[in-house]
Chain A
């Protein structure tokens, strides 16, 4: 097994508030191998975006990493001084945010914003940076890139702007891209284009991607592995086909069951009863237990003891149902399935 590009160990993100400490990301561990696309899905507030923000060191205060480690190529990065971390952002970890309409500074041409990023990280002349910016725009499929480079963001459509954002994320050839809901703000027809483009570029450049989304379709199409998050923890993690077609955790089962099938005529869409607990009211034991349909099969353990990730079928699930089928993975570290 190759060394993972990114390794997150027991990450915990907390927000001190007046009413006490809220734990938004609770003891998460995951790895991303070079060239791998890891999808992270979950409901709003499950902690997926915060995990991404923690990895690029852009948690907004008062949010902070309370414990855990983040390693990039085996080097610990979460405790770097701010200016050292800044050099990693863009250069080694790129980012794409949800809304391309607001990700670009309206007062500067896209060319200026791209060359600025290149000049910050790479040792090139301004002329070389400009040429590279044009090449990048060409690569992300912007026609007449040599002219468009002098245009302002408002002169581009939403889809085109997200292409510019992708070119910005790739500007300094990072090894990993954190894409936080990259298609949510786009039209459905544009979404597919952007996802295809992102996938193609990352394959060509050998870039790994952590794709944060709540769109199962995007995950199914793009990811190699997928992590399902629930209330700040990973509920299940495994190869994408397994998680989608053969989910193990009752939450994932419910999630997959809730995806409507185009061929069926149904009166009501399937749903998981109840809603995700709020951060200040996470139940003891398994956070999913109040909504779980299979709680009775295990007994009191579900409401008293929190399950770590356990081997379950071909994936790993944090559920006591699997406590006798596999060995307990005490560190909550999933094994990379990419090997």
Chain B
């Protein structure tokens, strides 16, 4: 178990080094930063001096080493667009994105799992068929479209919920939360549904397929033959056996939700990292883009690590038989 965790940690470090390298290369691909920073009329001497002061005259690997050293300390330089430290910008935006992503993930689980169980147990009911057909829409509609529909219905026609922004937020230390005010709660509903729509339908279809599979197994038949109640059979025995794939997909989805919150944040003008990133792209604000890339990479790595550990919690067979193999 410990060996497995260490192995996974080493893999994670490797992944982060690769991500860091890609982020670092961004600086070189987009052109000479010196010419971006200096006015066109600057002399060659000015350029050389700036180049030297920024360390850009050093060999490539020294520059990469410096970049990594800074990155580990959370120092990604200064935003070209806003003129403020990138880490500061990200820390300001992080709570908004994480709150949105977590709410969407919670929606995905709290709505997706019960709907999956329902459609598996009552597979011949018309409600299940409606849900299943509906889920196809959810899987195939792009989420900016869902966002715009939701805005049209709930913000424009009905006027129940705000169409943009985060509402009123409360600061707790460096963390700003929208969960403590009614306005903030109202503001998160539409974006969270938009972002959670795909995970909801995905988890529902996954749980349904897994449940149908598990319900056919001998131990479920035997559990019935032991006279256990339907609830004990369905939720105690069947549902738990569907959890391993559900955890995997939810984990991957959580990473994807955070990374792809960009679109939802743009539609709803949600002041999170995604919006920051989109604005950075439009402005070729490389430090922000590089830092965003590293942060998202880091979140993915952490989520995957947690997913791997959850397997152990759910499935006792892994705790003993586990050897060096990668898992999935």
Could you tell me which A residues sit within 8 Å of B by CB distance?
56, 58, 86-91, 94-95, 97, 99, 102-109, 116-117, 120-121, 152, 154-155, 165, 168-169, 171-172
Contact = CB atoms under 8 A, between A and B. Distances in A.
Nearest to B124: A61
A116 B219 contact: no
Contacts of B314: 107
Contact of B225 (A56, A104, A121): A56
B227 interface: yes
A86 B232 CA distance: 12
A277 B316 CA distance: 46
A172 B226 CA distance: 9
B218 to A, nearest CB: 4
Interface in B188-235: 217-219, 221-230, 232
A38 B227 CA distance: 23
B317 A97 contact: no
A121 B240 contact: no
Contacts of A87: 227
A161 to B, nearest CB: 11
B315 A116 contact: no
Interface string B72-84: 0000000000000
Given A58-B221, A172-B227, 20 more contacts: A87-B227, A89-B226, A90-B228, A94-B225, A95-B222, A95-B226, A99-B218, A103-B222, A105-B223, A105-B237, A106-B315, A107-B241, A108-B237, A116-B228, A116-B232, A117-B226, A120-B226, A120-B228, A152-B317, A154-B321
B227 A121 contact: yes
Q: Does more than half of chain B's interface fall in helix, strand or loop, or is it mixed?
A: helix
A105 B232 contact: no
Contacts of B228: 86, 90, 116-117, 120
Contact of A155 (B236, B241, B320): B320
B248 to A, nearest CB: 16
A331 B173 CA distance: 85
14 contacts: A58-B221, A87-B227, A94-B225, A95-B225, A97-B221, A102-B217, A102-B219, A106-B219, A117-B226, A117-B227, A120-B232, A152-B316, A168-B222, A169-B226
A173 to B, nearest CB: 12
B196 to A, nearest CB: 28
B124 to A, nearest CB: 10
Contacts of A88: 227
A104 B317 contact: no
Nearest to A98: B218
A90 B225 contact: yes
A89 B236 CA distance: 18
A99 B217 CA distance: 11
B222 A97 contact: yes
B125 to A, nearest CB: 14
A165 B222 CA distance: 9
Contacts of A172: 227
Given A99-B218, A104-B219, A154-B317, A90 B241 contact: no
A56 B229 CA distance: 15
Contacts of B232: 116, 120
B222, B225, B237, B315 — which one has the most chain A CB atoms within 10 A of its CB?
B225
Contact of A89 (B217, B219, B224, B315): B224
A86 B236 CA distance: 16
Interface in B239-275: 240-241
Contacts of A168: 222, 226
